[in-house]
Every structure is written in C-alpha cells, then in structure tokens.
Structure 1
Amino acid sequence: MAIMKDVAARAGVSVSTVSFVLNGIYKQHKVAESTAKKVLRAAKELGYHVNSSIELSPSSSVRQKIIGIFFPQENHATDLGKITENIYQYTAMQNLACNIMIIPYQLKRLPEIIKNIDWKNLDAGIVVISHLKEPLNSGDFPDELPLVFYNYSDSRFNSVSCSSTESSKQLCDIIHTKGYKDIAVIEGENSPRICDSYFKQFLELCEQSGIFVSAKNYISVENSFYGGAIAARKLLNFNSRPSLILSANTVLAQGAIPVFARNKFFIPYNTELATFGLDSELPYLQNHIPSLTMVVIPSIEMFHIATDLAFQLIENPEIKPVHRICQCKLVLNESLSI
C-alpha cells in the first residue's frame, strides 16, 4: 500500500508538498499548478487514495472538510499508513467527504504544535497518543479546539481508548495453565508501535500474576522484521531454548519465525508464541504460517469512532465531550493454543 513518502519519491517533491496537494490546500502554500498535477498523477499511478473533489482550476472555491492527524514522530510509519487508509475507507463507506492533513509532532512538544497550528485551515484534529503513560496536560490546550484524542482518555475533549485488561488476563491464565518452564520476551527498543504499550501492561500483569521472566530472557532489538530475526538468532544460541515466546508486536514475531524454521526450531512444535497486534493485521495473520495467536488492539474500530467524533465536532462545535472505550480480544491460533 502506497503512503505519502512513496508519492513524494515518485513525484520528486517533499512529503509536505504531497500533503498540501492531496489535502487541497496547495494554493495557500504557493505550490505551482504543474507540481500539483505531477503529485496527483504520481498518487494515481501508485494507487494512493486521491479525493475526487480536489480541483486544480483557479476557479474552485469549495473547500472540503480537513481533518488533521497529529501523529507522534517516534511512532512507526506503517501505523500511520494503516490509520489514514482506514479513515479514507470509512468516510467513503459513510458517504462523508474529507481530506487528511498529517501533522507530525515530537513527544512533549504536542501543546506547542497544537497552539501554533492555523486552525482556519483545519476543521478538526485527531491526536494520536501511542504511549499509554504519555505525560499529557490537556490544560495546555484551549477548550474550544475541535480535538479528538485517540488512545487516550480526557474529560475535557472527545476521546477514544481501549482496554486490554480482560484479554491480557485470559492470556495470563493460559500461560499459568500450560506451565511453561522458560519464557522469552522480544520487545522493540525504538520506533514504538501502537500495540507496544499494551504489551508492557501485559508484562506487568504477568509479574503480578506470578509469571516471571528471567532478565536474561528479555531480548530488546530494533522494532522491525530485521530486529525480530536478530532476536531469533540470539534465542537459538541460548543453552536452554524457550518453551514460550512473547512478542511485543507482529512485525517482530514475523521477523523471528522464518529464522527459527531455517534452524529446525519450529513454532508451535518446539516453542509456542503469542504476540500483540492490530485488528487491521488479523485477516492476514490468521492465514500466516503458523497463524498467530494475538491480543488484538481494535485500532480500526477506534479510528472509526474518532472519525465520527471529529465530524460531530465539525457539525456541532458545542457538543458535550464524550469518551468511548473499546475492548481488545484474545484470538487463539496455531502458534499458541489451549
């Protein structure tokens, strides 16, 4: 699936230029008409969603609603691609029309970014919070801003979050019942993904439940397929190979599994594996070899709700703030079963 970075590379322009063109605000940012046409052509060639209402003629005066996605720079870019694609698909299904503007921010600098945005160019904003324990003082943001917080709970603003408590407890109960002797953990050390924070919560619950993992069995690697492969090689060199592997996310798990297989150490026969992942990955990973047991974060459902709340704010800025909580679910597949 193409993302803005791919469109920018094909058109030979910056990502910000692509964002201005695809969000229909290129004229305000003095982007040449010829450049705008080149960006749209590149987007269509790559199959990137282009809103049909974007006009290149100077006479166009109708502006579509623009929703800003405030996205943490430290988070993984593939999560952003899935987020924008989900929003476009959902708005099309609901017969809603909007453009998306990506606004990256650094952790701890979110209030500054939000205050400096020209809200004349945005109708609403969805603020993605990837870290569950992110120190955020919502008092830094004016009440009148049309903000929806994703993966966060705030009484002053519309927000949507999810709970993994029940599904994590179910996985803990299975681990207790099966009585694994050696448990290993693979976690990412950079570019965190949205599900990584829920994985950390799960590990805390494991410890509270009497499930302990030796410090030497924690493998921290680059948060990528390559990192997962490195983790697998390290685990293969252990004197005692683990009977259970817990992975922070599906990318690390998918990077590790082929390395184990090439070394005749197969999942689930020689070791079992459980991971955390997003619901957008579930259809593919249920057909993965082996199919992956996952605590599934309902990211699609959460963004559908966030998008609905954003449109409600656009239509009625005085709407009373609401908060919705979605539930994670444990999906048992071949890599770990009862």
Structure 2
Amino acid sequence: MSAPSPLGLLLDVDGPLASTETRTVPEGIITTLARLAQRRVPIGFNTGRSADFLLHSVIAPLRAAGLPDDAPFYAVCEKGAVWFPFSAVPEGELPEVSVDAPVPNWVRTDPDMAIDPELREAMWAVNEERDEDVMFADRTKLVMVSLEEEVGADDAEFTRVRDEVVAGIEDLLERRGLAEEFEVDPTIISIDVEHASSGKDLGVERCLGLMADDGVAVPERWITAGDSRSDYAMADALHAMGARVEHMDVRPEDGIPEKAYGVLTAADLAERGVGQAEDVHERAGESLLRWAERDLLG
C-alpha cells in the first residue's frame, strides 16, 4: 500500500463542481483537478449524478487536461448505488451508459437498491402528465429515478411542476406500499427517487472501498464539499471514523448547522486570500480546490 496523501477530497458534483445552471464543469476546476491528480491526491466524486454524466462531463475533460491513467480518482454515483474507479474506464471513446444499453462490466451497481423498471416507467408517466417540457426523465440513471429541470426552463414554473410531481410520486409509492423503501428528494434542479439506504454516507463507504481495492492509503486529512444539508453526511461519516475532516458548504443560505468538525464557506476562504466572500456553487468550489492546492498541499 502506498504512503498516505496528506489530503483527500470527497466532492459533491452539482454545485461544488458543475454549474447548476449549465450542468457543465468550468475549465478552471478541470485544470486544478488534473493537477491534483498528478500529485496523486485521492478524490471521490460523491454524487447523485449518473455514471454517464461523470464519464462525459468530468472524465472526458479531465483526460483532455492530462489526467493520469492511474489517478486515485473514484466515482460514486446515484447516491451510493453505482460506483467505479476512474482507472477502470477504458481508453478511447467513452461509452454511453443508460437504462437503454448494457451496463459496462467495470461499472458496479447495487441491485438491492434498484427501482423496478415498471415502477420507473410509472414515475416518468407522472411527470409527463404534468408538463414534460419543464422536467425530463434522466435515462442515464441505472438504479434511481431522476427528473431534472430542462436547461433554460423558468425556475418558478419548474418549482410549481416539481412540487406537483413530487406529490404524485409520493402518492404512487404509498399506493404500492413502497413509501418506506424509497424516498422522494426534491432539489433545486431535480426530483430524485432513491432507495432508503442511499446517501452521501454510503458514498463514503463505497469510495473507501475503491481506495482499498487500489491499495491507496486513507489520507491524513479530508475536505468534503457540497451544496445541501445532505452533503454534510460525508463529513459526519468521516468524523465518526476518527478522521480529521472539514466540510465546505458552497451554498450556505440554509444556515450552517452545529458540527463537531470545522465548516468552511467562501467567506472563510476569502479571508485566506482565495476567491470572493459572496461566491457560491462552482465558484466557491474552485476556490476550495485552489486553496487545497496552495495552502494544504504546498
């Protein structure tokens, strides 16, 4: 096993890395991540996003920026239900991964967390009955169900339709006796329907398992980052393991909960000479990566 890195990162994707408006990762974040990969900093991308999104929106631009083939980078998708190491992704053209095609053998999924195809279709139908022009069914999700806001849709209209669809899906689950097995999670850009065991804490477990498979030692210190209260579960899990950890909240407008570990915001990084105090989402995420590279790694 290799000597431990002084730092490890566990990052949500939407918000800290990918813009919630364009769904793309800025070039500055990609180039900084590539430099961290070259320094063999272990990074887990712990997200509700799909394997397909990670492949085409994160791995493809990282490879173009010089991502080493053996970088200790790990994808944990669909809130812990799908996972794989970046190093397992074959060279060359990246595949399209969806419910409409065979799943590559290097992508791991948990069948016990999967939503039945017929139930998935029924949930998609609930959206279609309301207004499918506001939200689309993300067919790249292999285990969970996600209905996502169309880029450019009116946010107020999305919120109205989202809340109606949430009520419809919750009623569907209740009628089928599945309300305790699956949870409905409305976000600022989507509705996620996931197994009750899903979560960013499960993502930590998956990531550490992938690191162990690769012989990568657990880092001495961790930084986690997210844009919602559920993302604190990453730092909670690491702290419970006895790890030294801080969490970066890139959208702290919901308030900062009291925690036994440190919580950072863009204002904290601005005081340290990185970014602007008012930065949120991917701008704050880029500041975090630059601070980690400059101050924590030297």
Q: TM-score, normalised by structure 2?
A: 0.35
Specify the structure having the higher radius of gyration (Cα): 1
**Of the two structures, which has the highest relative contact order with CA contacts closer than 8 Å and spacing of 6 or more?**
2
